[in-house]
Amino acid sequence: MQDKPGVLNRVASMFRRRGFNISSLAVGHSETLGFSRMTFVVDGDDAIVDQVTKQLYKLIDVVKVSDISKEDVVIRELALIKVRTTPTTRPEVLQMVDIFRSNIVDVSPDSVIIEVTGDEDKVDSLLRILRPFGIREVMRTGRVGLMRGMSKSLALDNGQS
């Protein structure tokens, strides 16, 4: 989509008006100057996905829509998790962080903030394991994804691909 003020709001409003539920949303600058890439997850069958695609192409700032749900893709999510720790529990929490190949990004006397990146199952699994220690806060980015291998770079598209 074009990197202009209000585009995200117009896309979100379209979803709201049509009654589509967005279960995950991430947006950021793309490899092409002046364009942003939005990744969102919509629960539904092929007819719902087709309807969402058609509605998105009606928005003037949307350049290209790709359904990557059936493609060979890399999908990742980032989460920051603040976990309660004590001098007794901290070593065990640090061991869990190491097992999940995550990072400690902040330490305070009574908590740590963990950064975890991976697929949704990895993030969910780490949250389940840390829950008994006391999760104070969680912030998740939503899923982002790219197709594997060579693909066309972002270019103008009129909905015919």
Per-residue pLDDT tens digits for 86-136: 999 999 999 999 999 999 999 999 999 999 999 999 999 999 999 999 999
Q: What is the pLDDT of residue 103?
A: 97
SS3 99: helix
Helices (H), the chain: 7-18, 46-57, 90-99, 120-130
Do 82 and 129 fall within a single domain?
yes
Q: What is the pLDDT of residue 153?
A: 56
Q: What range does the domain containing 124 cover?
A: 73-140
* pTM of the shown model: 0.78
Do 56 and 79 fall within a single domain?
no
Which of 67, 97, 116 corresponds to the end of one domain? 67
Calpha distance 54→24 (Å, rounded): 19
Calpha distance 152→142 (Å, rounded): 24
Residue 31 falls within a domain, yes or no? yes
Do 78 and 136 fall within a single domain?
yes
What's the mean per-residue pLDDT of the chain?
89
Q: What is the pLDDT of residue 159?
A: 46
**What percent of the chain clears pLDDT 70, i.e. is strictly above it?**
93
Q: Residue 77's domain is classified under what CATH number?
A: 3.30.70.1150
Q: What is the pLDDT of residue 142?
A: 87
Do 96 and 57 fall within a single domain?
no
Neighbours of 12 (CB within 10 A): 14
Residue 82 falls within a domain, yes or no? yes
